Amino acid sequence: MTEGLSVPDWPGVAVSLVLVGVAALVAYRQHLRLTRELLIAAARAAVQLIAVGAVLLVLFRHTGLPGALGWVALMVIIAGQVAGRRGAGVPQAIRAATSGVAFGTVITLGALILLGVISTQARVVVPVGGMIVSGAMQATGLALRRVHEDARAARPAVEARLCLGLPAREAFLPYRRSALRTALVPAIDSTKVVGLISLPGAMTGLILAGVEPLTAIRYQIVVMYMLLAAAALAALAAARVAEYRLFDDAQRLVALPA
């Protein structure tokens, strides 16, 4: 344990269940019909985190960088499934989402490693990769949802642009830009207010571990910049893949479910 770092022991974790009880009580008393779901979510979180902690313990001690990259690849696959469900209705949404998350993660994490910005130790690559994958997943899900909504709502406008002789890519361009703006706004807003409204996770963790605040700030700056890049690259790749699937070989807009 890091000197000076106070980490809750297991009895302390058990005591924190009181907070879950408070949330469950609110849900029950307000008749939200979420009490059971809330309790299941809390139990799942505990089981999943303990299991992941055990796996990471082995990974950090025995596998090195290859194991870390394999774990990041697994996160990419899971994130693609989650983001793809948000874009339900877009043809092959999961493939588009996975492609976007993978593209944003590979470029961003690869740049950090190759340029020597972060260490190649597994205990560094895994959490940094996890943050990148998470940011890419959120941006991809938002982009695909907006692509689906715009493709349905703006169908007459897109078809009119096609009738004027524009290729599919040009006909859908305003709506791709709309999807990218929607995907990037959360990341941009978070970057604008970082440190003013809240201390982000990476910085908070380092400070709790006893690292000097100015050192923690340097790491957090890198984190915010990498999240911006990951979101932009992932959303762009996913939107382009989805856009390609929206049109058939004759460059006609396919019918989309509600």
> What confidence score (pLDDT) does residue 2 get?
46
> What confidence score (pLDDT) does residue 1 get?
41
Q: What percentage of the chain reaches a pLDDT higher than 70?
A: 95
Q: Average pLDDT, stretch 167-176?
A: 91
Asked if residue 47 has pLDDT above 60, the reply is yes
Asked if residue 197 has pLDDT above 50, the reply is yes
How many Å apart are CA 80 and CA 57, to the nearest integer? 25
Q: Average pLDDT, stretch 149-158?
A: 90
Contact present, 198 and 207 (Cβ < 8 Å): no
Q: Within 13 Å and on the Cβ side, how many CA atoms surround 72?
A: 28
Torsion, Cα of 187, 193, 198, 204 (10° steps): 70
- CB-CB neighbours of 257 under 10 Å: 8
Contact present, 231 and 28 (Cβ < 8 Å): no
Asked if residue 105 has pLDDT above 80, the reply is yes
Contact present, 136 and 100 (Cβ < 8 Å): yes
Q: Average pLDDT, stretch 151-164?
A: 89
Distances (CA, A) of 136 to 22, 28, 30: 33, 35, 35
Q: Average pLDDT, stretch 172-187?
A: 94
Of 202 and 45, more confident: 45
Q: 3-state SS string over 24-93? A: HHHHHHCCCCCHHHHHHHHHHHHHHHHHHHHHHHHHHHHCHHHHHHHHHHHHHHHHHHHHHHHCCCCCCH
Q: Average pLDDT, stretch 149-157?
A: 90
Of 78 and 198, more confident: 78
> What confidence score (pLDDT) does residue 212 get?
84
Q: Which helix (H) or strand (E) holds 159?
A: helix 155-163
Query: Is the overall model pTM greater than 0.75, yes or no?
Result: yes
